[in-house]
Amino acid sequence: MRISQPSGKAGLIALCGAILCLTGCNDGSGDPRAQIGANPSLPPLQQYLFPPMHIARVVGWKQGEKPDAAKGLKIQALATGLQHPRSLYVLPNGDVLVVESKAPQAPSPKRPKDIVMNYIESWATSGGNTGPSNRITLLRDPSGADGAAKTQSVFLDHLSSPFGVALVGNDLYVANTDAIVRYPYNSGDTKITAPGTVLTKLPGGPIDHHWTKSLVASPDNSLLYVGVGSNSNITENGMEAEHNRADILEVDRATGRFRIFASGLRNPTGLAFEPQSGALWAVVNERDELGPDLVPDYLTSVKDGGFYGWPYSYFGQHLDPRVQPQRPDLVAKAIVPDYSLSSHVAPLGLAFSTGTSLPENYRNGAFVGEHGSWNRSVLNGYKVTFVPFSNGHPSGMAQDVVTGFLNGNNEARGRPVGLAIDKSGALLIADDVGNTVWRVTPSGEQVTQR
């Protein structure tokens, strides 16, 4: 979803809140757990006059507050005072890059709804507009007081709504919203001042509805894969705005030429290679406004040339009546995603457990950062979950790993986004509303100097 400038007009918020509650306090949604796994129950689609909406009001973390980690785990703040941290990348020497990023400028409204929705969505980040963003901060050495990083400094500044980072040899690639840019990096560097070189442009403004470009290098380092989200919920900005979007692009690192690797993925992020099978996986945000339990967001392997439904259909051959003209030829070959995460949880982070030091039950699987719902009245997501894998495929029910991003009044103290496993094997969580990077370790672990 687009996240724009917050604004503090309390009266209008109260009025809109009353309208939302009037229409959405009981949306008839079912148990989200029934929609987790390979065969989610899919209710009939609904169309609304007022779609159910509930955005957790942002309150932030008070002094000493932190999320709740599952049994056997401990959570501490690795870094605080960040500016909308959205994704994480661990360098070979153990330094952690925190990508701090804000949405590009909102386009001019195409219709009255855009004005209303931009305003409503601005509530979701009202903690995050306190200073400069669109930069990468470097964290080093998690042995400070209470597990905080000893070094926290600006690594790379003046970026354009960045999200993905990938290092290949001495080439550091940053996926801005409109281009992949390459920078020279040497092990131990704490700041990059060299100007970047554009490897390839990516679909960006002026609409740029889904703007986060997830990035990963192929295991043989010759290719980059970049996730490009759709330019709309469901083609309401016209099909011509969707050129090269809702796709995963495969970019040749040597020339910058790209091809569409897979398509029909509405907003693919968290691109990562599953360690056992070597397959590319992603988490995908599915479409809104068809009901509180439609459409489930998902975790899936991504096949070369695969088509995953958007916009014409979801979860295989379930047609979306909002798309015209339809494409039965594409719908017929739409692939059913591997693993449903349940509806509107907004997964934006994915990290396979490779190298984790967390207890045995977290050793084979995928951590998923669920940013949290707006399009249902009973909140869903707002947590980090673990999907167990065996033989390279999901093998059981997702478990909650880190919760408590919402307080008892369903107000957002934080919202998890990007994830990473650091060099010591701890799980790192970027919290773009709490402006914190959290570090999850086994609860018995002593904080040790690396």
Partner 1 sequence: MANDLVRTGGLRSTARIATHPIHPMLVGVPIVCFIGALITDIVYAVTAEMMWANFSAWLLVVGFIIGVLAAIAGLIDFLSNRRIRERTPAWFHLLGNLAVLVLAFFNILVHTRDAYTSVVPTGLILSIVTVLILPITGWLGWSMVYRYGVGVAR
47 forms part of the interface with partner 1 (CB under 8 A): yes
321 forms part of the interface with partner 1 (CB under 8 A): yes
235 forms part of the interface with partner 1 (CB under 8 A): yes
Nearest distance from C-beta of residue 21 to partner 1, angstroms: 17
Site for partner 1 in 50-69 (CB under 8 A): 50
48 forms part of the interface with partner 1 (CB under 8 A): yes
Nearest distance from C-beta of residue 190 to partner 1, angstroms: 46
110 forms part of the interface with partner 1 (CB under 8 A): yes
Q: Which of 64, 111, 186, 329 binds partner 1 (CB under 8 A)?
A: 111
Cα angle for residues 395, 313, 103 (degrees, 5° grid): 85
In angstroms, the Cα distances linking 257 to 249, 250, 252, 260, 302 are 10, 8, 5, 11, 20
Nearest distance from C-beta of residue 323 to partner 1, angstroms: 6
User: Smaller CB distance to partner 1: residue 23 or 76?
Assistant: 23
Segment interacting with partner 1, rule: CB under 8 A, options 96-104, 109-117, 145-153, 295-303: 109-117
In angstroms, the Cα distances linking 112 to 19, 52, 216 are 17, 19, 38
CB of 221 within 8 A of CB of 168? yes
* Bridge partners of residue 172, in order along the sequence: 167, 183
Q: Which of 8, 10, 11, 49 binds partner 1 (CB under 8 A)?
A: 49
DSSP, collapsed to helix, strand or coil, labels residue 78 as strand
Segment interacting with partner 1, rule: CB under 8 A, options 32-40, 182-190, 319-327, 370-378: 319-327
Nearest distance from C-beta of residue 110 to partner 1, angstroms: 5
In degrees and rounded to multiples of 5, residue 311 shows phi and psi of -90, -10
300 exposed, middle or buried (CB, 10 Å; 0-12, 13-18, 19+)? buried
219 forms part of the interface with partner 1 (CB under 8 A): no
Nearest distance from C-beta of residue 111 to partner 1, angstroms: 4
User: Smaller CB distance to partner 1: residue 231 or 364?
Assistant: 231
User: Smaller CB distance to partner 1: residue 191 or 327?
Assistant: 327
44 forms part of the interface with partner 1 (CB under 8 A): no
Residue type, 19: I
Segment interacting with partner 1, rule: CB under 8 A, options 43-51, 70-78, 92-100, 203-211: 43-51
113 forms part of the interface with partner 1 (CB under 8 A): yes
Nearest distance from C-beta of residue 292 to partner 1, angstroms: 16
User: Smaller CB distance to partner 1: residue 329 or 360?
Assistant: 329
What is the 3-state secondary structure of 44-71? CCCCCCCCCCCCCCECCCCCCCCCEECC
Q: What is the DSSP letter of 150?
A: S
DSSP, collapsed to helix, strand or coil, labels residue 185 as coil
| Backbone torsion region of residue 305, taken as left when φ is above 0, otherwise alpha when ψ lies between -120 and 50, otherwise beta | left
Q: Which two tokens stand for residue 165?
A: 């980072």
Q: Which of 4, 233, 313, 380 binds partner 1 (CB under 8 A)?
A: 233
424 forms part of the interface with partner 1 (CB under 8 A): no
User: Smaller CB distance to partner 1: residue 14 or 239?
Assistant: 239
Nearest distance from C-beta of residue 240 to partner 1, angstroms: 9
Q: Which of 63, 186, 255, 324 binds partner 1 (CB under 8 A)?
A: 324
DSSP, collapsed to helix, strand or coil, labels residue 222 as coil
Q: Which residues contact 207 (CB under 8 A, 6 or more apart)?
A: 107, 231, 232, 237, 241
User: Smaller CB distance to partner 1: residue 149 or 323?
Assistant: 323
Q: Which of 121, 189, 247, 289 binds partner 1 (CB under 8 A)?
A: 289
Sign of the four-CA dihedral 190, 177, 298, 75: positive
Cα–Cα distance for residue pair 7/299, rounded to 1 Å: 34
63 exposed, middle or buried (CB, 10 Å; 0-12, 13-18, 19+)? exposed
Q: Which of 8, 169, 188, 325 binds partner 1 (CB under 8 A)?
A: 325
Q: Which residues here bind partner 1, judged by CB under 8 A?
A: 47-50, 110-113, 232-238, 289, 321-325
